[in-house]
Structure 1
Amino acid sequence: MLDRRLNAYRPDLANRKLRGNITADCYVDGQVARIVVGSAALRPRPDLGTPIDTELLYGEIVDVFERSKGWAWVQARADGYVGYLREEYLVLDCCDITHLVASLRTYIYPEPNLKSPPLNLLSMNTPLSLTETEEGGFGLLSEGGWIFQRHIAPLGSHEADHCAVALRFIGTPYLWGGRTSLGLDCSALVQMSLMRCGINVPRDSDMQEHSIGREAICEHDLSDLRRGDVVYWNGHCGIWIEPAAFIHANATDMAVAVQPLKRILKHMAEATGDNNPRIRRPK
């Protein structure tokens, strides 16, 4: 059966691209739309009381398959995730991406003036469409609004060390389904850190475990881990930096924290019974 997180289908409606793979009453093409809020919660059902699956960032492109009662059923182009978000989070257009937010977070201002009340708060990896207009260190966005240019980087300009990127998130609150520098979960920390280095990976840990880089066969005590290796357990993951430094977003500290891997191995074995961590080597 196709993974519903990555394939837009229901008994009554499905992405036309899935015709022949699944049966639905109706097949439609997606309508292109763009996220216009700093972050948009994506849910498995059109219900604000439902826990979020993930978040979409300002400027990210989605395909919209249904709009009904204030909700839109969409699929994100960035990582393929399918779900429901509030219709007001979208506009039915798209822009050519020229830059990405490179800092942990930054603001969009109504004018090139740091004292002006900000319009939106953006997080790392937010895609942007920048014009050639500059003033006072700010750049003008295609859709309007100004952004501080030292907080962004041209599209295709990446950092080299995803460990260094991950370390910048230390102290960020843990948020189930979160994908921003205001709150994120374990797999989002991995995804966001690698994305800043030009490596696009799936959203959830079970997807990542079978797709990031290559599998690394390590000694049972993990003594031969390399900096940047991603360690997976059932339902959890993090990035190994050095023996005393394993970084992960975790629900024990309710934050992104750095701890010795041995402590995490012991905790995961006791909490989940998973004594067999799997290693992926992104590079």
Structure 2
Amino acid sequence: MPHDRRLTPATDRIALETLRNTLPRPAYTPGKPARLAVPLADLCRTPGEARDRQLNFGADVLVIDDRDGWAFVQAQADAYCGWIKAATLTTERPPVTHRVTAPATHVYDRPDMKTPETASLSLGARLSVTATQNGFARLAQGGWVPVQHLGDQPATDPAAVALTLIGTPYLWGGNSRWGIDCSGLAQAGLSACGVACPGDSDMQQAAFAVVQDIRRNDLLFWPGHVAIALDDTRMIHATAFTMSVVIEPIQTAIARIDAAGQGPFRGARRPDLAAQTLFP
């Protein structure tokens, strides 16, 4: 059976040690743990080429290979593999204590909202907080973030999380407030609730149980597309139709997508919201 390149921690010259008996390669490695040290980075299918997905600040990865300033990694959160600029990674991995729970936030040089911001972080960024002062959280990596934008407990309603991203620009392979696609939105909502979710819509469709009725937080699928049900009549999705995150009646979307030749509707899947992973 062919390996899915998106989930296979191997390049043409080296593979993760766990694949030694199933995937022939010239060399094998246990991998090197690392963490994303910049606000956002593209995860590419080949160095410098098309983006498959994105990683947010604090994402943990396992480095499998490196060449010409690029590192081939497997993301810890969803096992997605790809090439990322090596300079965006650090081997320093202090304990993660919080996530960004607002759609976006700023990092300040001092615990004072009137000082210049030094970076911007998106929903889901993983942070190591070492202290608080004046309503700001100090990060082990440096800088201060407003405590109102952070949480150390998972949310409970993926749809409500997705609604905070209304109006976010559509971006193929995007995973942040600055740009997101359909599967990125589904993953953002579920991940904020501590529920493991694959990165692409076909993986998401395969991961969750088929249901006949539609309830809030069900995932709704078309070929290459996914939406989150708000109830049995409305959904939220990141769509190239408006190039943004929008709310749309489900039946309107089904008819519109069919008319465009992009159907058919493939039904609903129901994530188990009680099956939470480690958070943050």
Provide the TM-score with structure 1 as the length reference: 0.92
- Once the two structures are overlaid, the 10-residue window that deviates more, 83-92 or 265-274, is 265-274
Residue aligning to 2:58:
59
- Once the two structures are overlaid, the 10-residue window that deviates more, 107-116 or 252-261, is 107-116
Whole-Å separation in 2 of the counterparts to 1:23 and 1:44: 20
Residue aligning to 1:262:
251
Q: For residues 219-277 of structure 1, give each alpha carbon's deviation from its aligned partner in whole angstroms, at most 9, with x where no partner exists.
A: xxxxx421221101110010121355211100010000111111211122233453242
Q: State the secondary structure of the residue aligned to 2:7.
A: coil
Q: For residues 53-73 of structure 1, give each alpha carbon's deviation from its aligned partner in whole angstroms, at most 9, with x where no partner exists.
A: 011111111111222211111
On the 8 A contact 1:11/1:23 being kept in 2, the answer is no
Q: State the secondary structure of the residue aligned to 1:193.
A: helix
Give, in angstroms, the shift of residue 84 of structure 1.
Answer: 0.7
Q: State the secondary structure of the residue aligned to 2:107.
A: strand
Within the alignment, does 1:147 sit opposite 2:145 as a pair? Answer: yes
Residue aligning to 2:4:
3
Whole-Å separation in 1 of the counterparts to 2:165 and 2:215: 21
Long gaps (5+) in structure 2: 273-280
On the 8 A contact 1:243/1:260 being kept in 2, the answer is no
On the 8 A contact 2:9/2:15 being kept in 1, the answer is yes
- The code of the aligned residue for 2:155 comes to E
Whole-Å separation in 2 of the counterparts to 1:249 and 1:166: 10
Residue aligning to 1:211:
207
Whole-Å separation in 1 of the counterparts to 2:264 and 2:87: 45
Within the alignment, does 1:32 sit opposite 2:43 as a pair? Answer: no
- Once the two structures are overlaid, the 10-residue window that deviates more, 107-116 or 197-206, is 107-116
On the 8 A contact 1:209/1:278 being kept in 2, the answer is no
- Once the two structures are overlaid, the 10-residue window that deviates more, 224-233 or 50-59, is 224-233
Residue aligning to 2:165:
169
Q: For residues 149-174 of structure 1, give each alpha carbon's deviation from its aligned partner in whole angstroms, at most 9, with x where no partner exists.
A: 111011xx122211111111111000
Residue aligning to 1:78:
77
Whole-Å separation in 2 of the counterparts to 1:272 and 1:237: 16
Within the alignment, does 1:191 sit opposite 2:195 as a pair? Answer: no
Q: For residues 91-140 of structure 1, give each alpha carbon's deviation from its aligned partner in whole angstroms, at most 9, with x where no partner exists.
A: 12212111111111111112111122222211111111111x22110111
Provide the TM-score with structure 2 as the length reference: 0.93
What is the total number of aligned residue pairs between the two structures?
A: 271
**C-alpha root-mean-square deviation of aligned residues, in Å?**
1.4
Within the alignment, does 1:232 sit opposite 2:232 as a pair? Answer: no
Give, in angstroms, the shift of residue 187 of structure 1.
Answer: 0.5
Whole-Å separation in 1 of the counterparts to 2:262 and 2:17: 42
Whole-Å separation in 1 of the counterparts to 2:244 and 2:223: 19
Moved over 3 A (4+): none
What percent of counterpart residues are identical?
37
Q: State the secondary structure of the residue aligned to 1:119.
A: strand
